[in-house]
Each structure stands twice: as C-alpha cells, then as structure tokens.
C-alpha cells in the first residue's frame, strides 16, 4: 500500500475514534464493547450486516471502532433485496459513502422472483441465507446484527398476534448460534434504543436513509409500531414491557434446561447418517418440552435456520404418538415410527 494511502487511512481512523470523546457516544460504545468482550472471540474475524438505516450505520461505526482498537479484521455486508425500485441504487450509495470512512462493504444481491405475500418474512429469510453464505466464503464465524430494543418489543407483539407460546414471546435472544455453518449471530445493540442509534448516525455520518416501508401501513410491523406508541400513552411503557419479557425469558430458560436433558438422555444422534433416534421416554415429558425438543432436532437434521410452524410440529407429534401416522415429512425431515422408537432423518 502506498504511503499516501496509509496516511489517509490513519487520518480517517483518528477522526472516527475522536467521536468516542463524545460522552454519550462513548457510553454507548462501552456497552457495545462490553457485550463483545463477553460474547465474541477476539482472535476471530467479525462480520457485520449493515444498510443505510440509522441503526445499521451506528453498528458500522461501533464495529469499525472496536476493530481498530482491538486490531481485528472486520467485514461489512449490505443486502440488496431488490424489492424496491431504488434498492440497488441505495446499496451502491451506502457502499460509496461508507468507503470514505474506510468501511468497505460487500453488496449481496437477492436474485430471482420476488414474493407477493409475506414479503418481509421471506425477505428476512433470504437475507439470513445471503449473510450466512458470505460469512462462510470469508471464513467468518461471528456475525453482528443491528437489532435494538425497539425491534425486540415489536417482535413480542408480532408473535403475540400469531398466538406464539412462551418461547416465541420471549423473542429472539441476545445470542443465537447458527448450527449449520457454526456461525455465532450476535446482537450487541439489543439493549440500545433507536433514538440513541440515530444520535450516533447524525453525529458521525450526518447521513442515513429513511426506509419508506417504515411508514407503509400495509406492513404489519409498521402497524405494530403505532400500537406500541398508543399503549405507551395508556401507561404500558417500554420499561413495563421489558420487565414482562424478562420474566418470560426466565421461565423460558427453565424449560430449556429440561429440553436439553430430554435430548441428552432420550435421543441419540448418528452423525454419519445424520439421523436422530428417539426412545419411548422422549415423549414422556411435558407438551412444551416435547415440542421444543422436536423443533431443535428438526433444525439440526434439516440444517435450516428456522423450525417449521408450531401447529405443524404439534400435529406431527400428535400423529406419531397416537399412531395415526407411522411416517411423515416435516421441515425437510422424514419422521418415522418403528415400534416404540422414532427416527428423524433428512428428507433428501
């Protein structure tokens, strides 16, 4: 690299790190740093999913500062869903803009036909797949996502409307491990409010893109945001909602303890054949423990990020236990009952 380029980079890095002298930004960065020091591995490369929104730009800044201080290699990825007319143009704009701050982004494009229904859900799944593949290609096994506390609350109400159980209402955790490619998905900003992330973006970049879908009431998430705003006026504020979710998570952890024990003692994994063998005691647990145990095994065997819908899993459990079906397929897996034993294997 030329001396001039090195000198220019040093100046850019110094300017970025100078923003940490701002008391508010420094306080946010310390929380970000503490989270990663507790959950991330320092000697391993980090990937970060960014976009032009204020929360993603804040993630890009915090990640870049963390990588500079700890001398880590960080990769940044922008997903272009191509769902809006200007999405590709915006992705290129964000890439060009962040390059001025020595934040080099790779644009990941979602090619092929686009859905006409459940657009946001399908787009989310494709986004994860693109990011996982990019991480694998770049030998990255920890990926930072820009989810914040407002996302957590929105998720709670979306799942409540779907009739989710305890696990669903506990919402996504701060850490989620992607089993397929051994990718650790980290959410270091899960305790941050969106207003704080907007503050970072305005102060550091003086720039962010407003997503027009955030004001489109055809999308459920937009309607949920309005509902949360109305509930806040009635006294059910974020603090009380946070306490509710915290209590649910405590109960969720207790159930997970018994799920792990059930799989450990009543299921056997044959790695060479990618098959789980469940003994008769596997189904002698509480309904929730059986449900979660099956969900976990289906994800492991199918190597899919998400388990099938809850109702489909419950129907499968009922049919197997009642002998109404000796063999069925679900979530990319084949479930077969042989005497008192149940085999779960990959459908392919």
Q: Which pLDDT score, from 0 to 100, does residue 275 have?
A: 95
How far apart are the C-alpha atoms of 116 and 85, rounded to whole Å?
15
Q: Which pLDDT score, from 0 to 100, does residue 1 have?
A: 47
Decide if 127 is inside a domain.
yes
Q: Across all residues in the chain, what is the average pLDDT? A: 86
Q: 345 with 274: CB under 8 angstroms? A: yes
Residues 58 and 95 in one domain: yes
Of residues 83 and 30, the one with the higher pLDDT is 30
Q: Which of 42, 44, 76, 37 is nearest to 60 (CA)?
A: 76
The total number of structural domains in the chain stands at: 2
How far apart are the C-alpha atoms of 227 and 160, rounded to whole Å?
13
pLDDT tens column, 230-284: 888 888 887 888 888 889 989 999 999 999 999 999 999 999 999 999 999 999 9
Q: Which pLDDT score, from 0 to 100, does residue 87 have?
A: 80
Q: Which pLDDT score, from 0 to 100, does residue 268 have?
A: 96
Q: Which pLDDT score, from 0 to 100, does residue 317 have?
A: 94
End-to-end distance of the chain based on CA atoms, in angstroms? 49
Residues 174 and 232 in one domain: yes
Q: Which pLDDT score, from 0 to 100, does residue 318 have?
A: 94
Residues 77 and 219 in one domain: yes
What is the percent of the chain with per-residue pLDDT over 70, rounded to a whole number?
90
Decide if 258 is inside a domain.
no
Whole-number Cα distances in Å, 279 to 268, 295, 335, 344: 8, 16, 13, 12
The pTM is what? 0.73
Residues 216 and 285 in one domain: no
Residues 231 and 269 in one domain: no
pLDDT tens column, 157-203: 888 888 888 877 876 666 665 545 678 889 999 889 989 999 999 99
């Amino acid at each position: 690299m030329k001396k001039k380029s090195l000198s220019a980079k040093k100046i850019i890095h110094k300017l970025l790190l100078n923003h940490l002298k701002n008391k508010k930004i420094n306080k946010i960065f310390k929380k970000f740093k503490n989270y990663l020091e507790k959950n991330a591995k320092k000697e391993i490369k980090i990937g970060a999913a960014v976009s032009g929104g204020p929360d993603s730009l804040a993630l890009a800044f915090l990640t870049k500062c963390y990588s500079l201080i700890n001398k880590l290699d960080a990769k940044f990825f922008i997903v272009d869903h191509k769902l809006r007319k200007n999405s590709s143009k915006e992705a290129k704009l964000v890439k060009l803009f962040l390059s001025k701050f020595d934040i080099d982004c790779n644009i990941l494009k979602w090619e092929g036909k686009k859905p006409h229904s459940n657009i946001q859900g399908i787009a989310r799944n494709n986004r994860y797949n693109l990011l996982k593949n990019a991480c694998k290609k770049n030998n990255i096994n920890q990926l930072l996502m820009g989810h914040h506390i407002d996302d957590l609350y929105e998720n709670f109400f979306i799942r409540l409307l779907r009739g989710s159980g305890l696990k669903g209402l506990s919402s996504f955790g701060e850490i989620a491990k992607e089993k397929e490619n051994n990718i650790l998905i980290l959410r270091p900003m899960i305790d941050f409010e969106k207003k704080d992330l907007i503050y970072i973006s305005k102060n550091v970049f003086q720039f962010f893109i407003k997503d027009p879908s955030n004001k489109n009431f055809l999308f459920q998430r937009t309607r949920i945001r309005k509902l949360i705003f109305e509930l806040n006026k009635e006294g059910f504020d974020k603090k009380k909602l946070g306490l509710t979710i915290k209590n649910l998570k405590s109960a969720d952890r207790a159930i997970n303890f018994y799920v792990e024990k059930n799989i450990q003692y009543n299921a056997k994994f044959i790695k060479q054949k990618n098959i789980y063998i469940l003994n008769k005691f596997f189904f002698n647990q509480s309904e929730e423990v059986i449900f979660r145990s099956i969900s976990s095994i289906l994800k492991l065997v199918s190597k899919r990020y998400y388990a099938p819908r809850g109702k489909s899993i419950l129907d499968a459990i009922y049919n197997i236990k009642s002998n109404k079906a000796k063999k069925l397929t679900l979530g990319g897996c084949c479930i077969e009952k042989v005497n008192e034993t149940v085999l779960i294997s990959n459908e392919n």
